[in-house]
Amino acid sequence: MDLPDSTSNWNGLTAPNLDDLAQLAEEVRAAFPPPFADPARQVLLRVEELASDEMLADLGLEDPLELTGLYDGTPMTERSVIDPPQGPDIVWLFRRAILDEWVARGDFALGDLVANVVTHEFAHHFGWSDADIARIDRWWE
């Protein structure tokens, strides 16, 4: 995903694809500090065009462009050694919603947005609520 040196070199460029966003997300995950790095590697990371209708319905959303990412699993703080796993923990990223927000905001790099979405969703895996995340990360304001 190389950017042109001048405005005359924009021909032939395309929007980042699923693999491009997955690579950005993997770079974010690889940079997590030691207390979080090992648990983060146990989570599946998936990039899709848009959230499924089922995901949207579960969240009470109608517009798939409203959902840039989703953590699907049991937060580490809610697990018990006697409870069997319910399935793999997954962090989902939704390419078109991320690109839509990136374009709408227009004031930061795509990599920064992806990093924020990835970190936010992994924070849910670690057991942080949206309120906890908001106290630490004022990025969305």
H or E element that contains 48: strand 44-48
Task: Round to whole Å and give the CA distance between 18 and 128.
Answer: 27
Percent above pLDDT 70 for the chain: 87
Query: pLDDT tens, 103-128?
Result: 999 888 999 999 999 999 999 998 88
Task: Round to whole Å and give the CA distance between 90 and 124.
Answer: 11
Cβ contact 16:107 at 8 Å: no
Q: Is 88 helix (H, G, I), strand (E, B) or coil?
A: coil
pLDDT at 4: 53
* pTM confidence score: 0.84
Query: What are the extents of the domains in the chain?
Result: 15-136
Hey, which CATH number is domain 15-136, 3.40.50.620, 2.60.40.10, 1.20.120.610, 3.30.2010.20?
Answer: 3.30.2010.20
Residue type, position 128, single letter:
W
Q: Would the pLDDT of 95 be above 90?
A: yes
Query: pLDDT tens, 24-58?
Result: 999 999 998 888 889 999 999 999 999 999 999 99
